[in-house]
Structures are given as C-alpha cells and as structure tokens.
Amino acid sequence: MADKANKEEVQVEDTAVAQTEETTKPQREVSLKESNPEKFLKEFDWHNYEEGIDPIDDGKLEEFEKLVAENFVDTLDDEVVEGKVVYITDRDAIIDINAKSEGVVSLNEFRYNPDLKVGDKVEVLIDVREDSTGQLILSHRKARTIKAWDRVNAAHDQGTIVNGYVKCRTKGGMIVDVFGIEAFLPGSQIDVKPIRDYDVYVGKTMEFKVVKINHEFKNVVVSHKALIEADIEEQKKEIIGQLEKGQVLEGVVKNITSYGVFVDLGGVDGLVHITDLSWSRINHPNEIVELDQKLNVVILDFDEDKTRIQLGLKQLNPHPWEALGEELKVGDKVKGKVVVIADYGAFIEVAEGVEGLIHVSEMSWSTHLRSAQDFVNVGDEVEAVILTMDKEERKMSLGIKQMTPDPWTDITKKYPVGSRHKGIVRNFTNFGVFVELEEGIDGLIYISDLSWTKKIKHPSEFTNIGDELEVVVLELDVEGRKLSLGHKQTEENPWDKYEDEFAVGTKHTATIDEVVDKGATVKFNDDIVAFVPSRHLEKEDGSMLKKGDEAEFQIIEFNKEFKKVVASHMVIHKEEEAKIVKAAAKKQAQESEEAKPTLGDANAKLQELKDKMDGKK
C-alpha cells in the first residue's frame, strides 16, 4: 500500500511538474485543474486513476464505435440485418453479413425474385447461429415478414409498385406473396380483360399496386389491373374523342353474354346487342361470334359522355326485306321454319331475316281458339299462305288453315239439324261444354242439355276433357259458324213417363232422405226427388216426420218443364176430414144455388110489375 501511495504521489508530482512546464509556454492553454481546482477534484475519475486506465480521446472512441457498427454483427440479436449475396448455388444463396462466417438462405425464399444475382443486397434474420457444420443459417422470409407490414403500408400510402409472386389460385382470384405476406388478387383485378384461364398466372412474378389493407383481419388486396388502367384511360380518351355515329371500326370480341357481345375497340368497350348481331333470330350470340374474334362493327349510338357505346354487326349488310323479289305477293304459298312461338301465334322465317306471323286464329278453322303450341313446335318446317304483306313496315301475316278446305262450306249437308254424331270434349265453360266433331267444327252443349234428370252446376260434374260424347245437332248458324248441340236429346225424356206415374193425387211410399230448409226431400227413384214442405211432414198423432222415417206421400204438384215435384204426408191422414169439409162446402153451394131465382121466375115477376104499371091489375 505504501508503494502504491508513493507511486501515486510521484505520478501526481510528475503531472504537476509537466503541467507547470506547459504553463510556462506562451501558447499553452490553461487546464481545468489550474483554472478551477475544486471542480477538477470533484469531477476527477478516481476509478480510472486507481485502475491505471489512461483517458481516451472522445473522437477516437466515436470512430471506433462507428467501425464496430459497420463491421460487426451481434449474432445473438434478433434484429433484421442487411447482407450481400456473394455466391448462388443450385439450392442456396450465400449471404455476407460481416459476421465471423457467411450465412446461407434457401433459394425457395426468393421465389418472388427470380432475378436474384450476386451483389444484390437483401434483408435477413439470423435463424441459427451455427449448425452442425458451423454454418450460419439465415432467413430472408422471416426478415421480410418482420418488415412486411411496414412496407405494405408504405406502398399503399405512397401508391408505389411492388413485386409479388403468384402462389396459387383460390376462389375468386389468386394468392400473391408480397414481402412475405399472402395478399389476395381478385380475378377482376388481374387484367382489364376478363380472364378465362387463371392457372396461367400461377408461378409468375408480377407487378402490383396495394389497393386495400384491412388491419383488423390482416388482409391485403392487390391489383395488377390498376397499373395498366392509366395507360388505357389515355387511349380511351383519344378513341372516344373521335367517335361518330355510323363509323365503322375494327374490334376484338372481349366477352360474350346471353344478351349480347362486348367488343374491345382498343381500350374502349362497346356492346353489340343480340338483336343487332344478325337479321335472323338467334338463341345465343355464340352462334354468330366467338371469343377473341376480330370483326368490323358500326357505331349505332352512344351517351353524352360516350362511356356507353352501342354497336351493330348486322347493319353492315342490307336488310333482307330489301332483297325480296317483287314476284312475292299476297296469296302465294311459302315454306319456312318456326323460329318463335308465343301464345298468340308463331313466327315463321320464310327467308333469312324475313319473318311472318301465323296468328293462332289462322292455324285452324275452329272458332274455339287454342294455344299455338297445339299446332306447331320450334324448328318445324311448315307451308303457309301469305295473307298480308307490308314491305315498308316489314310485316307479313301467314295462314296455315287456308291450305285445307273450309269445313263449313258444306256444313248443312254433313251436320243437318236433328242428325246424331260423336265428338270429343275439348273445353269447359261455366255454361256448357265445347265438343269437337272434326277439325274446325266445334259445337256447344249448354249445361241444361247434358241430362234430363240431373241438376248439374258445372260440366266437370258430368264429363271430362277428352271424353267422347254422343250428340244431336239442335241448331245450326252457318253465317255465325255456330253449332248448338245436345246430349240428353240422344235419349228419351224420362219425365214423359213420370208425368203419368207421378201425377197429382198419386200416392207413393218412400223414406225421408234429407231434412232441408223449410222441409225435407224424398227420393222416389234415381230421377225423382220430391220436396215436402214442413207443414206437410205432420203425422196423424201431430208429431213430425224425421230423416229415415218411411211413410206414404201424395203428389200435390208435378212440373215436367222445371222438373219440380212436391209431395205431402199430411193430406194422407187428413183425407177424410178433407172429404167432409169438401162435401159440406158442396152442399152449401147447392143450397145457395137453389135459393137463387130462376130466369123464368124473374121474367114472371117482371111481367107482373109491368101489368101493374099498365093498370091491368
């Protein structure tokens, strides 16, 4: 300790001597020790003095720290560092990060950058400090992931272009690796043109713009289409500025829909509606055009902003009506194909682009109209007669029924009044049944002429569509083309014989069938159902007949025309009383008659009065 103290004293003395010598020099600066001894002692580093550490100049320390920062990597730190590609093998990239050894990164981590080359600088993260061979293992993917969100947000905010590797296809688009983040590329954002084969993009590295970021769900949406839209927009403005109606342009079929075709005019899309593709009717545009086909189109119309352009293809050729020969006229027979069927008729293409309408009323001589589908089908070849033709309006009406004779021509010979025939039930109405005797000859059976005995509310209660019925012609209107038919007239009217069997006063035994409002019904047979008023249900003991009671009834009313029968039970057991009352009434009438003066008596009294007046008596 004494030696150390002596040494310190010597050092202090030497220092003091050196400082004293320096102060004698004219340019020497005054030290802190000399200028302010108290402060010097207070700030003096006794630890360094005791340990024998010489003070280092601050400038040298800063230079040393800078060299360490530039040339030394702490392999224990998880921070991302920048390295330089020094060599590339078939599988790996050798990266120099200024560590004690160079690191290795698998080339799989650079799939997004197939142009990687020696000398490129890349960001890496130390994954394994030293493997079994002493090799430093680095990870570019992890480094990218750490920095990815910062870069993605910066690219989104600044609108910069990023590179991405298309990994695979997914529903509605593609998955793209951007900075190590899986971003979604919608199918609509791949190109300005509709994409038909997504698989061709898988494995490609493309440029993208980050268009949307969802921080909550960590979703990123990118677009390749946005990069080329700006150029296309310039082309659009140039093309749109030159558009004129009637102008013919060349385009490429971009998309085909059920209602028309979109044509790319060089950055501007126009629509050829299905009706403007061909003068003939077509079911789908792909019958006329195909994708990527080049064709000439004519501009038909566009809106004020020229953003919606209506194109035409058929307008490049003359209208087929103009090519019709002058020899074609009303009354001529033509052949054509059924192209469209509606409820009211069928359209027949008699020449390419030339159609005529066969109204359903011109398909059959029958006045009972049916649907056009009952006569023809789409695609049928038919022969018809031209009924009307207007070339200016481009309209033509045709008829099929005119190809056969009118069945009403000799109707009076084939269907005279009273003749019997068989027909098919074709239709019902609330008031009757339409029966077809032959094609073009329909007749109506009124509901009252279906049965002699049954009370029918609707024809379906009596027959069915398609049933065969025997009929009798009741009336014939040739001018109005109307036939009145009857079915019940084919049989004898059973009410003719019932008129005697159930005459007023006849008695019959039956059972109460139903109790109805204001009385009851009694069924005497299948045809005769009589009504019994309530007061006529009284039995001899004063009680009333009930449903199921069997009793004797007397007919008190019979109407053959209205098929009305009224019966009574009460008059049976009150018949004697009725007879007594009737006899008394008859006797009283006789007595009254006898009490009346006769004509002779009246004449005698008149003569007597006359004589008295004449003074004879």
What digits encode the pLDDT tens for the residues 173-202? 899 988 878 899 998 888 877 777 888 888
- Nearest Cα residue to 102 out of 79, 133, 148, 147: 133
How buried is 181 (Cβ within 10 angstroms: 0-12 exposed, 13-18 middle, 19+ buried)?
Answer: buried
Q: Is 614's pLDDT higher than 80?
A: no
262-270, Cβ contacts within 8 angstroms, sequence gap of 24 or more = 263/295, 263/297, 263/311, 264/193, 265/239, 265/309, 266/235, 266/239, 267/232, 267/233, 267/235, 267/236, 267/239, 268/235, 268/236, 268/239, 268/240, 268/309, 269/309, 270/297, 270/299, 270/309, 270/310, 270/311
Q: What's domain 494-584's superfamily in CATH? A: Nucleic acid-binding proteins (2.40.50.140)
Over pLDDT 90: what percentage of the chain? 9
Report the distance separating Cα 474 and Cα 446, nearest Å. Answer: 11
Residues 6 or more apart in contact with residue 276 via CB below 8 angstroms: 260, 300, 310, 311, 312, 313, 314, 315
Residue 575 has what pLDDT? 67
> Domain residues of the chain, as ranges?
80-144, 159-229, 243-312, 330-403, 410-486, 494-584
Q: pLDDT tens digits, residue range 234-254? A: 677 777 777 788 888 888 898
Residue 7 has what pLDDT? 43
Q: Is the domain 410-486 a CATH 2.40.50.140 member?
A: yes
What's this model's pTM, rounded to 2 decimal places? 0.39
Q: Is the domain 243-312 a CATH 3.90.226.10 member?
A: no
Residue 31 has what pLDDT? 62
**Cα-flanking dihedrals φ and ψ of residue 231, to 5°?**
-65, -40
Q: Please report where in the chains the tokens 């109790």 appear, as a residue.
A: 515
Residue 574 has what pLDDT? 76
243-312 matches 410-486 in fold: yes
pLDDT band at 398 (very low <50, low <70, confident <90, very high): very high
Residue 97 has what pLDDT? 82
Q: pLDDT tens digits, residue range 467-518? A: 999 999 999 888 888 889 998 888 877 777 787 788 888 888 889 888 888 8
Q: Which of 108-117, 300-309, 337-346 has the highest mean pLDDT?
A: 337-346
Q: pLDDT tens digits, residue range 273-296? A: 998 888 888 889 988 899 888 999
**CATH topology (fold) of 80-144:** OB fold (Dihydrolipoamide Acetyltransferase, E2P) (2.40.50)
Sign of torsion over alpha carbons 193, 194, 200, 205: positive
pLDDT, average across residues 565-591? 69
Annotate 178-216 with DSSP letters as a single string: ETTEEEEEEGGGT-SSPPS-GGGGTT-EEEEEEEEEETT
Residue 593 has what pLDDT? 62
CA distances (Å), origin 435, targets 246, 409, 576: 59, 19, 56
Helix, strand, or coil (residue 116):
coil
Q: Is 548's pLDDT higher than 60?
A: yes
Class of domain 330-403: mainly beta
- Nearest Cα residue to 243 out of 219, 269, 279: 269
Q: Is 75's pLDDT higher than 60?
A: no
Q: Is 533's pLDDT higher than 50?
A: yes
Report the distance separating Cα 190 and Cα 207, nearest Å. Answer: 11
Residues 6 or more apart in contact with residue 552 via CB below 8 angstroms: 507, 508, 509, 569, 572
Residue range 159-229, CATH number? 2.40.50.140
